[in-house]
Amino acid sequence: MKRIIFCAVLCAGALFIRADEGMWMLNKIDDKTASAMQSLGLQLTPDQLYSTTHASLKDCVVDFSDFCTGVVVSPDGLVFTNHHCGYGAIQSLSTPEDDILTNGFVARSRKEERPAEGLFVKFLQRTEECTGRIMRALNEVYKAHPGEPTEELDKQYIDSIMGAVERELHKANPGLDCLVRAYYEKNAYYVSYYKVYRDVRLVFTATETMGKFGGDTDNWMWPRQTCDFSVFRIYADQNGEPADYSEENVPLHLDNYARIAMDGYKNGDFCMTVGYPGSTSRYLSSWGIDERVNASNISTIQVRGKKQEVWKRFMDADRAVGIKYASKWASSSNYWKNSIGMNKAIADLDVIKQKQQLENKIRGWYGSRKDLNDRFGEMFEKLEDAYGYRRNGVYAMGFFRETFLRGIELYRVANMLNSMPQDADSTEAAQVRSRMEAFFKDYDAKLDEATMADLLKNFREQVTDRQYWPDCYNVIDSLYGGDEAAYAHDVFAKTICTDLSAVEKVLADSTLRDTDPGLLYAQGIPTKMQEIGGRSRYASTIINFNEHMLTQALLEMDQETPHYSDANFTMRLSYGFIQDYTANGQHYQYYTNAQSLLDKAAKQGEIEDYKLEDDIVALMKEGNWGRYADKTTGDMHLCFLSNNDITGGNSGSPMFNGKGELLGLAFDGNWEAMSGDISFDDNLQRCIGVDVRYMLFVIEKWGKAENLIKELIR
């Protein structure tokens, strides 16, 4: 019961900590916090930011397909998000004959807007606390299992309790998605209610050279000139309610949408970002950070580096393959470079030492009080022992997942076929057919064969303990003399798993599961993964519970200091300023201009990521910015910096001024502070945004989409 009381105190309200740090829940912004924000330049009240009874700023911001954020910018459901957020849909709509990924796309009428299959947007209706409900259910579990370890019961039952609450709330709220999420390392719980629209259509995208300008070279770097935006429209039925795609659907009409700020900004101006940050680990222990750096990130860096070398050869050689793998490459490369930057920043900023100092402070706080020592006294010892016990398994599991689940794509096909029931008319078989059809649209067997050969060899070299190897290595060693390339060639030459006909072949002949080399290859992978995970399952349970207790100790120790919860892909607000920065003796100004883009484009013969089409270069050299010129500098600003606190998932998040007007879209962070998911550095951490005026300039001057300009600028 102590935990329930503690959570009630914890969640009573958020106070002001620093203007630049924090991912704050909009429904928890109290008068004191609002007053602090208003003193910095906010002209809105808490009720104008979040309300369940009238229009508020939250209603303009959408969850974009559960991986990004978007903002509604017109009364007819027009949505801005990042180019890289719309990238998968743009790629899916592209063909070698109609390569809109390369050439861009402009819908000059509603009829030309293209349905983006699989995309959806979610509007947050309200967020409510359900901590007491979850804790009461968990306490009943404790009573029913007296004497059993609390941490084991927590791990076993919390997720199922959350799921049961979601189902109950969904029944009571038909037409809404109800999602329960844990906050503060499972010290508090909230439920968010969403209305989901699934008819989303592509309206505008610039060329890939603009939307991805700088590519991997500039990713996570400043200065930037990336025109990272795309435009979609939400459609609904005649009553404005969610509906599957239909030609009868109409643009969603909204009275509340984000107005565009044409007056721009200057260094020091108030700026806030509202969006859906995905995941941070700011409360993680020093042992957890060490594991992230030396056991988890290392596999992402090493395996994806190898995989991307193979992919690039095939993508460069064949444009059709390049289109198929464009979105996969972007996702893989993004987290590959993120992991490299995170490891470097954690070392450069001595983040582990900082966390150890905080842990020593916590030891001193509880050490002199018996009641606190009884609760927290064994916490650090248990964390150290459990992290040490599972270290080798986490290292091996990282390489295993990156190789067999995320690297060699054949497994996805074979695993679906192995799991499919033999009944051709079953719902499950129909679902497999549908998933296979989508998969093979963006698949190349020759590329995958080469990937298999290289990654199997790499796994053997990186994970030398044979207990972590799947069964395919027994075949490779006994029948192919340890030659992974020969094995891969034979598998792909003989397997049925390289095209859509595989589904019907397995349904017609179940014995293929015992003879087909691709299906046999996949069979041993889930078993080995469960075996690796099973060895450290109890250690993981101890870690999860004691990380939760560590967070509780910190929050109790610092009750007078406000603490925001780690990101969990729920709507959050961060606020601060437009701000430049200095790192490693170099000063970086707070915006980039057209000349900086032209300077990089001049190097496109040396750096492929700086390629720009001639007409875009000419447009930038012309310098006719008109109403899009910044009133302070006279330049057209391309990208800009704020000290807002963001992470993955915030991509596409609107960046607002103090009036709640749209300044631009967040799309990246800076290299010097890549440790930000673990530890926020207020001197270095910056949010990189694309200026809305640059976006409008491209829509009007490059896209010549007067229809959109009239809709956007009123």
Tens digit of each residue's pLDDT (9 = 90 or more) over 510-525: 999 999 999 999 999 9
One domain, residues 234 and 290: no
Does a structural domain hold residue 561? no
Report CA-CA distances (Å) from 543 to 146, 342, 367, 389. 21, 22, 21, 11
Tens digit of each residue's pLDDT (9 = 90 or more) over 62-100: 999 999 999 999 999 999 999 999 999 999 999 999 999
Q: What does the alpha-carbon distance between residue 74 and residue 253 come to, in Å, rounded to a whole number?
A: 9
Q: What does the alpha-carbon distance between residue 440 and residue 627 come to, in Å, rounded to a whole number?
A: 46
Q: How many CB atoms are closer than 10 A to CB 13?
A: 13
Our answer to whether residue 228 is catalytic in this structure is: yes
Does a structural domain hold residue 102? yes
One domain, residues 208 and 320: no
Can you count the helices (H) and strands (E) in the chain?
28, 20
Picking from 125, 43, 49, 79, the residue whose alpha carbon sits closest to that of residue 665 is 79
Q: Which helix (H) or strand (E) holds 234?
A: strand 230-236
Over 70: is that where the pLDDT of 17 sits?
no
Does a structural domain hold residue 669? yes
State residue 7's pLDDT score. 45
One domain, residues 126 and 221: yes
Share of the chain above pLDDT 90, in %: 90
Q: What does the alpha-carbon distance between residue 152 and residue 149 come to, in Å, rounded to a whole number?
A: 5
Does a structural domain hold residue 46? no
Ranges of H-type helices in 257-296: 286-291
What is the DSSP code (8-state) at residue 604? T
CA dihedral 478, 484, 489, 494 (to 10 degrees): 40
Taking the alpha carbons of 63, 67, 73, 77 in that order, is the dihedral positive or negative? negative
| Structure tokens that stand for 421 in this block | 């029931």
Does a structural domain hold residue 167? yes
Q: What does the alpha-carbon distance between residue 138 and residue 422 come to, in Å, rounded to a whole number?
A: 40
One domain, residues 313 and 193: no
Active site residue: 651, 653, 675, 679, which one? Answer: 651
State residue 29's pLDDT score. 87
**470 falls in which pLDDT band (50, 70, 90)?**
very high
Over 90: is that where the pLDDT of 155 sits?
no
Does a structural domain hold residue 345? yes
Picking from 121, 191, 124, 196, the residue whose alpha carbon sits closest to that of residue 163 is 191
Domain that holds residue 693: 572-712
One domain, residues 301 and 443: yes
Does a structural domain hold residue 547? no
Given a contact cutoff of 8 angstroms between Cβ atoms, the answer to whether 88 and 202 are in contact is: no
Q: Across-strand partners of 274? A: 573
Active site residue: 20, 59, 63, 228, which one? Answer: 228
Question: Residues, the chain, total?
Answer: 714
User: For position 627, which CATH number holds?
Assistant: 2.40.10
What is the DSSP code (8-state) at residue 51? -
One domain, residues 512 and 638: no
Q: What does the alpha-carbon distance between residue 236 and residue 186 come to, in Å, rounded to a whole number?
A: 37
Our answer to whether residue 84 is catalytic in this structure is: yes
One domain, residues 167 and 72: yes
- Cis ω on the peptide bond leading into residue 115 (within 30° of 0)? no
One domain, residues 584 and 480: no
| Vertex 21: Cα angle to 124 and 259 (nearest 5) | 45
Tens digit of each residue's pLDDT (9 = 90 or more) over 352-377: 999 999 999 999 999 989 999 999 99
DSSP helix/strand/coil, 647:
coil
Q: What does the alpha-carbon distance between residue 117 and residue 419 come to, in Å, rounded to a whole number?
A: 26
One domain, residues 620 and 478: no
Tally of domains within the chain? 3
One domain, residues 311 and 354: yes
One domain, residues 638 and 684: yes
| Structure tokens that stand for 200 in this block | 């989303």
Average pLDDT over residues 131-147: 91
* The amino acid at 407: G
DSSP readout, 358-400?
A: HHHHHHHHHHT-HHHHHHHTTHHHHHHHHHHHHHHHHHHHHHH
Tens digit of each residue's pLDDT (9 = 90 or more) over 203-262: 999 999 999 999 999 999 999 999 999 999 999 999 999 999 999 999 999 999 999 999
Does a structural domain hold residue 625? yes
One domain, residues 341 and 460: yes
Active site residue: 84, 548, 563, 637, which one? Answer: 84
